[in-house]
Amino acid sequence: MSVIKTEKLTHIYSMGTPFEKVAIEGIDIDIPQGQLLAVIGHTGSGKSTFIQHLNALLQPSSGAVYCQGEDINKDKFSRRDVKWKVGLVFQYPEYQLFEETVYKDIAFGPSNMKLSAEEIDQRVREAAAFVGVDEELFEHSPLELSGGQKRRIAIAGVIAMRPQVLILDEPTAGLDPRGCQQILENICDYREKTGATVIIVSHSMDDVAKIAERIVVFHKGKVAMDGSPEEIFCRAEELMDIGLDIPRAAELAIALRREGLGLPEGIYTHEQLLAAILAVKEGSAC
Amino acid sequence: MLKDITLGQYFPGETVVHKLDPRTKLILVVVYIISLFQATNWISYAFITLLTALCLKLSHIRARNIFKGLKPMLFIILLTAVLNIFYTTGTPIIPGWPITWEGIARAIQMMLRICLLITGTFLLTYTTSPISLTDGLEKLMNPLKKLRLPVHEMTIMLSMALRFIPTLVEETDKIMSAQKARGADFETGSLVDRAKAMLPILVPLFVSAFRRADELAVAMESRCYHGGEGRTRMKKLKFAARDIFALILGAAVLALMMFMKKLGI
Amino acid sequence: MEAVVKIENLHFCYPGDEAESLCGIDLEIEKGSFVAVLGHNGSGKSTLAKHLNAILVPTEGKVTVFGIDTADEDQLIQVRRNVGMVFQNPDNQIVANVVEDDVAFAPENLGVEPSEIRRRVDGALKQVGMYELKMHAPHLLSGGQKQRVAIAGVIAMEPGVIVLDEPTAMLDPQGRREVVATVTRLCREKGMTVVFITHHMDECVGADRLIVMSGGRVVADGKPAEVFADVELMELEGLSVPETTRLVHDLRQAGADIKGEALDTEACAKLIAEALKH
């Protein structure tokens, strides 16, 4: 079942002025419930504009966005309610923390939903658990914590709204490899336990290769590619033409094929590459 | 949106207005403001409006940018107008109404005065890079150093503030979107509610401003900043013939405006 | 080779902290070399960087740059002039509203003659490939461009060493490539000594020397290929290794006989193909 669907979605900044700039144009995307989708593209490709349409932070210049079959821009109320269904975590979300305590900050979203105190409490604890924030930290000021912890608290603040769709803009930006790994695990965990749809915007092909089920590549405000990681990474040359990286394993696989190794198509993770080379080795040994 | 605020923005260019010494421009703006306040009736208003338009033309600044800059001030401008309409005594347009012909005339003049005032200062900031602006200010205020006033520190603070306005505006926009995504509501509710709703924006903004200030201080020290002592400038300020000409012209305009006021034109 | 930076038994403890952030570091950095420093957050790599231009001074031990002790307050400006610093957040180190005015900031502070400042500013902007944009407003540039302006602002001081403290952490892949290419060129063509601090292992591949830090100590120091080859250590430190190194390592564990090390994709592919043919 489709949870989010866009139809000919177009956004033009400063429309009607000489500064007019088309950010995205004619985007048709259908996202089924529970999918883990990665959105890729370099800065200015329109991917950030696109995700801000999915919870009505921006209104389309033309076209429409549907959430569970309903037009989210129908009226003021639908625009507000969609924020609970589609949670959006911005880039560097730790810079939005503002409450005196970690607990209150995570509770900000749910209290805006006008839930009961009990319900809010339950959600805060649940969200904190998802991102691995210890309850001992609840009474601390978020500003005292480390960068990685702040980031997780900010993500918990969105998860606490229990969105059916969780969108994260560059959730691993600026973190060290260990921090990246943790955040990605938290997100996958959340999805597994709740069945939520997750959309990740990323620059890092290696991160994406590890977790995504489907990849959408944005280029110059349009969808340049849309498919499974296998399908996308088979088109390595096209990706490089657009100026995007490909996963290192895919790059290495191409180099090895050039050296005459009979590796199958569609390799993009370390494990696949290792298995494929070992298979070739076995084959030649027999 | 917030990004449209053009306060303190500089549009590089090569026009004669751009080329004037910042000190000349600073003095001229003061002269302009004094002249503006001499205007009391339509003829003098028309004269100074025409003069302003001429300066804009000379500096190649598009009217669009001026309008964009005026937009955030719209509320103040309209408020002044409304107050003047209602609080000026004279002949009512309809007997018994509080609105008078004099009030309307005064409202229009007041609106014009504010718009011209803002336009005049925009003309300065649009055509003068903040660095040379603060340089000019520092030079003009140099005599005050004798009174042990921290002139250099004040001007460098001003230039840093100007530098960070666009950065902080952009940041405010980002924080606002992020809080909206968490269901924050800035548009409905009572005045108190709305003021409270600003907290989730102001707190992160302040935290970030302090962090930036901290990092900036370290970065400046790393680039050998140690106060104004022994500092040189890449672009030395030099008075040229056009500066003297412009200053004489400014003095003439001021004299003319004062004369017109005296004559009651 | 001549050592431009000497660090002897450096200990540092932030005021109010109980644990030391740096616990005994001995290093020498050779003139003209490209040294990458890798470590996870809190490993002490940024604290170390801040010692190189006297933003911090040792609690114990000694740091000398070009023979000057960084703890000597009378020589502070000399230390900072010789060791330029580029920081993580490009926005928070640009002081002016016009690119060229920003680059002029450091020479102006040093009291350089106006005509000489102009020469240095133009030269620095050309070296980082930003000369065409010298009249632009910095806040309208991309992250990579802003960092290149910051680099130009530092090289306008004509320092012997340039230290970059996670200059790519906030950039997109395009910006990252720009910054790495720029400093690599400065090192190879202009003989600038570069200390490049990062947690992206792929940015260390082209370095002459790779130092890995953890818990305030140097835990590995050598040529990148050699350091990365110790995959177990790197993983223990929460760092990743290049796919090339990891693949060679795992293939060896599976019994493949691969000779030598290669970080470069093409060279690594050749090594593996070679080994499989036998």
Q: Kindly list the structural domains of chain A, giving each domain's residue range(s) and its CATH number in brackets, ordered by start.
A: 2-243 (3.40.50.300), 247-286 (no CATH)
Quote the minimal CA–CA distance from A281 to chain C in Å: 6
Query: How far is Cα A204 from Cα A247, in angstroms, rounded to an integer?
Result: 8
For the residues of A154-216, what is the DSSP string, one character each?
A: HHHHHHTT--SEEEEESTTTT--HHHHHHHHHHHHHHHHHH--EEEEEES-HHHHHHH-SEEE
Query: How far is Cα A120 from Cα B40, in angstroms, rounded to an integer?
Result: 63
B182 with A55: Cβ contact below 8 A: no
Residue B140 domain-assigned?
no
Better-predicted residue by pLDDT, C152 or B7: C152
Better-predicted residue by pLDDT, B162 or A84: A84
Residue C53 domain-assigned?
yes
Residue B138 domain-assigned?
no
How confident is the model over C179-189, as pLDDT tens digits?
999 999 999 99
pLDDT category at B134 given cuts 50, 70, 90 is: confident
Residue C277 domain-assigned?
no
C268 with A252: Cβ contact below 8 A: yes
CB C124 within 8 A of CB C189: no
- What is the reported pLDDT for A56? 92
* B259 and B161 belong to one structural domain: no
How confident is the model over A210-224, as pLDDT tens digits?
899 999 999 999 999
pLDDT of residue B4 exceeding 60: no
Residue C126 domain-assigned?
yes
Quote the minimal CA–CA distance from C232 to chain B in Å: 36
How large a percentage of chain B has pLDDT more than 70?
Answer: 96
- What is the reported pLDDT for B73? 83
The CA–CA distances, whole Å, from C204 to A173, B155, C219 equal: 19, 42, 16
Both structure tokens of A34:
């529970």
B145 touches chain A (CB under 8 A): no
- What is the reported pLDDT for A16? 67
Amino acid sitting at position A139: E
Across A239-253, C119-133, C228-242, the highest mean pLDDT is recorded for C119-133
B181 with A83: Cβ contact below 8 A: yes
- What is the reported pLDDT for A285? 57
Of the residues C86, C108, C133, C147, the best mutation for testing chain B's interface (the one with the most B CB atoms within 10 Å of its CB) is C108
A93 with B185: Cβ contact below 8 A: no
Residues of C in contact with B235 (CB under 8 A): 101, 114
A261 with C276: Cβ contact below 8 A: yes
pLDDT of residue A282 exceeding 90: no
B63 touches chain A (CB under 8 A): no
pLDDT of residue B194 exceeding 90: no
Residue B174 domain-assigned?
yes
Residue B108 domain-assigned?
yes
Chains in contact with B via at least 3 Cβ–Cβ pairs below 8 Å: A, C
* B107 and B219 belong to one structural domain: no
Domain count, chain B: 2
Q: Which residues does residue A71 pair with via DSSP β-bridges, in sequence order?
A: A66
Chains in contact with A via at least 3 Cβ–Cβ pairs below 8 Å: B, C
Helices (H), chain A: 47-53, 76-85, 102-112, 117-130, 147-159, 177-194, 205-211, 229-234, 236-242, 248-258, 270-285
pLDDT category at A53 given cuts 50, 70, 90 is: very high
Query: Residue A90 gets which letter from DSSP?
Result: P
A62 touches chain B (CB under 8 A): no
Domain count, chain C: 1
Nearest CB partner across the interface for C272, out of A243, A245, A277: A277
Nearest CB partner across the interface for C247, out of A204, A252, A281: A252
pLDDT of residue B220 exceeding 70: yes
Residue of C nearest to A253 (CA): C269
- What is the reported pLDDT for C200? 87
pLDDT of residue C93 exceeding 50: yes
CB A27 within 8 A of CB A8: yes
C98 with B159: Cβ contact below 8 A: no
Nearest to B253 by CA among B28, B6, B5, B85: B28
Q: What is the mean pLDDT of chain B?
A: 87
Residue B166 domain-assigned?
yes
* B29 and B109 belong to one structural domain: yes
pLDDT of residue C101 exceeding 60: yes
Both structure tokens of A43:
């800065």
Residue of B nearest to A107 (CA): B182
Q: What is the mean pLDDT of chain C?
A: 92
Residue C87 domain-assigned?
yes
ipTM of predicted assembly, 2 dp? 0.91
Helices (H), chain C: 45-52, 76-82, 99-109, 114-127, 143-155, 173-190, 224-229, 231-236, 243-253, 265-277
Residue B141 domain-assigned?
no
* B103 and B67 belong to one structural domain: yes
Residue C153 domain-assigned?
yes
Phi/psi-derived region of residue C241, left when phi > 0, alpha when psi is between -120 and 50, beta in every other case: beta
How confident is the model over A33-44, as pLDDT tens digits?
999 999 999 888
Residue B31 domain-assigned?
yes
pLDDT of residue C37 exceeding 70: yes
CB A118 within 8 A of CB A126: no
How confident is the model over B16-69, as pLDDT tens digits?
999 999 999 999 999 999 999 988 888 899 999 999 999 999 998 888 888 877
Query: Residue B97 gets which letter from DSSP?
Result: -
Cβ partners under 8 Å of residue A59, min gap 6: A53, A73, A79
Query: How far is Cα B60 from Cα B123, in angstroms, rounded to an integer?
Result: 10
pLDDT category at B1 given cuts 50, 70, 90 is: very low
Residue of A nearest to B179 (CA): A96
pLDDT of residue B130 exceeding 80: no
Q: Among A214-223, B92-101, B180-189, C223-232, where is mean pLDDT lowest?
A: B92-101
Strand A62-67 relative to strand A70-71: parallel, antiparallel, unpaired?
antiparallel
* B163 and B97 belong to one structural domain: no
CB B215 within 8 A of CB C87: yes
* B6 and B44 belong to one structural domain: yes
pLDDT category at B2 given cuts 50, 70, 90 is: very low
Residue C260 domain-assigned?
no
Q: Among A52-56, A198-202, B97-101, B139-143, where is mean pLDDT lowest?
A: B97-101
pLDDT, average across residues C21-26: 94
Q: Which residues does residue A105 pair with via DSSP β-bridges, in sequence order?
A: none
Q: Print the domain residue range for C133.
A: 3-224
pLDDT of residue B192 exceeding 90: no
Of the residues B176, B182, B196, B208, the best mutation for testing chain A's interface (the one with the most A CB atoms within 10 Å of its CB) is B182
Residues of C in contact with B159 (CB under 8 A): 95-97
Q: Among A10-24, A82-96, A185-199, C14-28, where is mean pLDDT lowest?
A: A10-24
CB C207 within 8 A of CB C196: yes
* B244 and B225 belong to one structural domain: no
Q: What is the CATH number of the domain that holds C140?
A: 3.40.50.300
B177 touches chain A (CB under 8 A): yes
Both structure tokens of C81:
């002039």
pLDDT of residue A173 exceeding 70: yes
- What is the reported pLDDT for A195? 93
Q: Print the domain residue range for B81.
A: 1-128+235-265
Query: How far is Cα C263 from Cα C202, in angstroms, rounded to an integer?
Result: 9
Residues of C in contact with A179 (CB under 8 A): 40-41
Of the residues C101, C102, C154, C161, the best mutation for testing chain B's interface (the one with the most B CB atoms within 10 Å of its CB) is C101
pLDDT, average across residues A169-192: 90
Residue B137 domain-assigned?
no
